[in-house]
Structures are given as structure tokens and as C-alpha cells.
Structure 1
Amino acid sequence: MEVFECTLSIDDLDAFVAELGDVGDRHGVTIQAFDARYVADRAHLERSVELADRAIARGENIARDRAVEILLYAAGRRQIDRALEMGVGEGETRAVILIDDGSGGTEGGPSEAETAARNGLADLDAVVATEPTLEFEGRGEETLCAFFDVTDAERAATDASLAELVGERVALLEVEK
């Protein structure tokens, strides 16, 4: 799995999604774009890919498309329309774009296909800056807490990090099926 952290400026969301699909098809990878505010950390995305792939392998997937199944797990939701809130939209967005070839990862880093797809994404007109977006100043924990329904009482009752609590929500989708 590879992540491409960037700032996007999207004028036409449907056209942008089609471009992502074209890059993915060209390189044989799955691509899913997320609003960085809703991604706890890289492990959040890695776990989402793992659980989505397991559901697909078992024939228990909710969505027909692998990218959408990954989105459902990342959002911790069964409803596609609610999970889409976690995606990018028109306008300027700090984003994390997941790129995965389905191979389960390589020891030395991203696969050739994932790297080629990342380079293809960097050339898209919507990409206005390549910069860290998973850990940026001003990222509000309130957004993650609200989206994943993490309460103050829950945070006070545990020494788990917010990222770990989000990871729990991702894993709970499997149980809620």
C-alpha cells in the first residue's frame, strides 16, 4: 500500500473520480481518495485495506467495488452514502490518496505499480501541492471524534490514543455485519 499526501483543488468531482479510476486501471491498482481530516493515521488505512480484502475473499463484502469496500471500512460504516462523507469533494481539500495493488504489500516499500500510479496521480491537474497531510498543524481531533462517534467519556475511560479508538471503529464494522 502506498499513500499520496497532497492538497487537491477539484472543480468537477465526477471528472476527478474518473481520472482516479483511469490511473488505477492503467497501473492495475485500487485508488481511493480521502479527506485527510478523517484519516487517523497510516495504520487506519492499512487496517481498512486488510479488512476489506478479507471480506471480499470471504464473499462478505458490502460493495461490489474494492475501492468502495475500503472506504466503508475506513469510515467504519455500512452505508456507502455515509462513508462518502470521508471522501474528497469539490474545492480545495487536504487529501490522502490510497494506492494498493492488492498484493498485500512488499517488504521494501511500494510495488512498481503503486509507485507508477503515485507518479500518475502527481501529474493530475487537481493536485496543487504535494505535502504531508496525515500530520499537519491545525488538524482537529474534534473532527475525528465527531465522525467516528468517539465521546469524551470514552476517551477519559481509556489510555488508548484517538488513532487506536478509530482503529477499533474500523474493526467493529466486521462485527456489525
Structure 2
Amino acid sequence: MELLECRLSVDDLDAFVSRLGEIGDDHGVTIQAFDARYVADRNHLERAVELADRSIERGENVARDRAVEILLYAAGRRQIDRALEMGVGEGGNRAVILIAGDETSEVDDARESAALEALEELEAVASLEATLAEPDERTLCDFFEITDAERAATDASLSALVRERVALLEVEK
């Protein structure tokens, strides 16, 4: 899995999403863009990919598209409309774009790297910057419904609590 942390400037969301799909198809990988405010860290997205792939393998997936299934798990929600809040929108966005092959192999690593290079060249990518370096704790707590009392009751990191919400999606099916 590769991540492109960047600032986006999206004029036409449908065209942007379509272009991501084309790049994914060209390189044999899955690509999904996220508003970085809703992503706790790399581990959050790794867990979402792992659980989405397991759901697809078992035939338990909600979405027909792997990228959407990954989005559902990353959001910890089964409703696509609610999960889409986590995606990027038109205008300026602090973003993280996930690139995931189907399996761990040198071939997939090369495909992911090639797709990453193609994404970096997109006109919508205004700049490369570390968008996951400082998580937006308030947005994460609000979106994943993590209360102050819950945080006070545990020594688990916010990232661990978010990953717990992602994993709970499996239990709630």
C-alpha cells in the first residue's frame, strides 16, 4: 500500500474521481482519496484495506467496487452516503490518496509505485505535504463518535480507538 499525502485543488469532483479510477485501471491497483481530517494515520487505512479485502473474499461486501468497500471500512460505516463524508470535495482539500494492489508482491509494489507517480502528476495535486502528521483530533472524535469520557477511560491512542471503530464494522454486520 502506498499513500500520497497532498493538498488538492479539485475543480470537477466527478472528473477527478473518474481520473483516479483510470489511473487505478491503468496500473492494476485500487485508488481511493480521503479528506485527511478523517484519517487517523497510516495504520487506520491499512486496517481498512485488510478488512475490506477480507469482506470481499468472503462475499460479504456491501459495495461492488473495492475502493468503495475500503472507504466504508475506513469510515466504520455500512452506509455509502455517510462514508462519503470522508472523501474529498471540490475546492481545496488536505488529502491522502491510498493506492493498494491486490496482494503483497514485488509486482504489486511496482504497480503501486507507478500509480503513485501518475497521481503526483495530476493537475489537481497542488502540492505534496505531510497531511497525516498532525491528526485533526476534534474531527476524528466527532466523526467516529469517540467521547471525552471514552478517551479518559483508556490509555489507548486516538488512532487505536479509530481502528477499533473500523474493526467493529465486522461485528455489526
- The whole-number CA distance in structure 1 between the counterparts of 2:57 and 2:25 is 21
Match of 2:171 among 167, 172, 175: 175
* Kept in 1: contact 2:27–2:115 (CA 8 A): yes
What letter matches 2:127 in structure 1?
Answer: A
- Spell out the pairing of 1:8-157 with structure 2 (5 A cutoff): 8-103=8-103, 105-106=104-105, 111-136=109-134, 139-157=135-153
Identical aligned residues as a percent = 72
Q: What are the Cα deviations for residues 104-153 of structure 1, in whole angstroms up to 9, with x where unaligned?
A: x35x8x700000000000111100001111114xx431000000000011
What letter matches 2:122 in structure 1?
Answer: L
Please say which of residues 139-148 and 80-89 is displaced more in the overlay: 139-148
Tell me whether 1:165 sits opposite 2:157 in the alignment: no
Aligned-residue offset at 1:102: 1.1
Aligned-residue offset at 1:40: 0.3
- The whole-number CA distance in structure 2 between the counterparts of 1:132 and 1:162 is 18
- The whole-number CA distance in structure 1 between the counterparts of 2:100 and 2:141 is 27
Aligned-CA RMSD value: 1.1
Q: Please list every run of 5 or more consecutive structure 1 residues that lacks an aligned counterpart in the other structure.
A: none
TM-score, with length taken from structure 2: 0.97
Aligned-residue offset at 1:10: 0.3
Q: Please list every run of 5 or more consecutive structure 2 residues that lacks an aligned counterpart in the other structure.
A: none
What letter matches 1:131 in structure 2?
Answer: E
- The whole-number CA distance in structure 1 between the counterparts of 2:30 and 2:160 is 25
What letter matches 2:166 in structure 1?
Answer: V
- The whole-number CA distance in structure 1 between the counterparts of 2:155 and 2:34 is 27
* Kept in 1: contact 2:36–2:131 (CA 8 A): yes
TM-score, with length taken from structure 1: 0.95
- The whole-number CA distance in structure 2 between the counterparts of 1:116 and 1:37 is 26
- The whole-number CA distance in structure 2 between the counterparts of 1:176 and 1:3 is 28
Aligned-residue offset at 1:74: 0.1
What letter matches 2:111 in structure 1?
Answer: A
